[in-house]
Amino acid sequence: MDQLLIEKLTKVGAAFRLPGLFFSYEEVNMGNINHTYKVNYVMDDGFGRARIKPFLFQRVNTYAFKEPVKLMENIDKVTEFIRGKRPNALNLHFHHTEKDGVRLTYLFDGDEFWRITNYVPSVTFMTCNDVKVVHNAGEAFGDFMTVLSDFDPKQLYYTIPDFHNTRKRYEALKKSVAADVKGRAELVQDEIDYLLLNEDKACTLTDLFNGGKLPLRVTHNDTKINNVLFDEKTLESLLVVDLDTVMPGIIASDFGDAVRFAANFTAEDSGDYDKVGVDLNIFWAFADGFLSQTAKALTELEINTLALSCYSLTCELATRFLADYLDGDRYFKINYPEHNVVRVRNQIALARDMEKKIEAMDAIVQGCAKKYRK
């Protein structure tokens, strides 16, 4: 264990007045942006015996999230709204600290931004080939949209402006290619070419939205299957977490991003490019779960563009990984120097496979939509 980190965690825990004493910690490797730790405290169980109680500590990445305070406001509003509708449902509770007599759900010293929530015993999946689990995840994300359907999106801040604006992501990529600060562009010329060649197709959803053809909704915007907690025994979904990017958005982003992550035969950063592709069984499972909750509320055009949204989101993320690689790996956590390049190649292989399967994917979407619109 890292001594400096232990000191830091102990200080943070004290600021939030956690009961008991720091005992141990383990890093939870679930995100590419924030640092998350399960921190165990030892306390009296009320009968004089020691008991271990875990808490979830998170250090929010303020390079990615420039306005963490607004981000917490968004989360507060959304979770309060859901709690109002479902008072007995499982939820995340943010612990409080105090600054100048004001109760706050975060500790921010201008540099590091910390928050603490209750630890929910559960399992999560990085990859999953169990159709039942993926169906449950589809239901959970669909339900998330539905429960927030009467929440006014204008109440939320854009904590990362243009987060799923594919056109803007392409502009950023082009800037990174032109600047080429690390001299890496020639190493990824094929990837740059593929993405630029398909820009218009990838931007279809953004263009439709900008043209006023798609409705603005409250969306999660980071619908990786590992953002759903599942019951350890029954594998039913318990809770949708990681609400950092809850913002006004289009439904295509939530559907497309979930599929690009969950329905890929490999993990998003696998270098086994020959295996990359859409598993249509998993695609069906997610689509069926998602549409069981949303089909009645979605417009014709939203449904007709769900299959294409998977392609859009895959290309969009490829542009982000690629721009980050060209910029010197500042945004996404990397475990080795070529990590972002492997992610790019994986996503491009996935996009190419989606081009071949787009009609099958659309047929599945239409079938599920029909079933649940009756």
Give contact residues for Mg ion (rule: CB under 5 A).
222, 242
Q: Of the two residues 257 and 288, which places its CB atom closer to ligand GN1 in the complex? A: 257
Q: Of the two residues 31 and 249, which places its CB atom closer to ligand GN1 in the complex? A: 31
How far, in Å, CA of 162 to CA of 135, rounded? 29
Q: Which two tokens stand for residue 269?
A: 């950063």
> What is the closest distance, in whole angstroms, from the C-beta atom of residue 34 to ligand GN1 in the complex?
6
List 32, 36, 198, 312, residue binding ligand GN1 (CB under 6 A): 32
Site string for ligand GN1, 62-91 (x = CB under 6 A): --x---------------------------
Q: Could you say which residues in the range 35-64 bind ligand GN1, by CB under 6 A?
A: 64
State yes or no: residue 31 binds ligand GN1 (CB under 6 A). Answer: yes
Q: 3-class SS at 42? A: strand
State yes or no: residue 329 binds ligand GN1 (CB under 6 A). Answer: no
Phi/psi region, residue 104 (left: phi>0; alpha: psi -120 to 50; beta: rest), is beta
Q: Of the two residues 303 and 354, which places its CB atom closer to ligand GN1 in the complex? A: 354
List 139, 242, 324, 327, residue binding ligand GN1 (CB under 6 A): 242
Q: Of the two residues 139 and 242, which places its CB atom closer to Mg ion in the complex? A: 242
Q: Of the two residues 139 and 222, which places its CB atom closer to ligand GN1 in the complex? A: 222
**How many residues of this chain bind ligand GN1 (CB under 6 A)?**
12
DSSP letters, 344-370, are HHHHHHHHHHHHHHHHHHHHHHHHHHH
State yes or no: residue 317 binds ligand GN1 (CB under 6 A). Answer: yes
How far, in Å, CA of 318 to CA of 316, rounded? 5
CA distances from 140 to 137, 204, 272, 299, 370 (A): 5, 26, 30, 20, 20
Q: 3-class SS at 226? A: helix
Indicate which of Mg ion, ligand GN1, none lies near residue 237 (CB less than 5 to 8 Å, by partner kind).
none
How far, in Å, CA of 50 to CA of 40, rounded? 12
State yes or no: residue 264 binds ligand GN1 (CB under 6 A). Answer: no
CB 348 within 8 A of CB 191: yes
Q: 3-class SS at 41? A: strand
Residues that bind ligand GN1 (CB under 6 A): 31-33, 64, 222, 224, 242, 244-245, 257, 268, 317
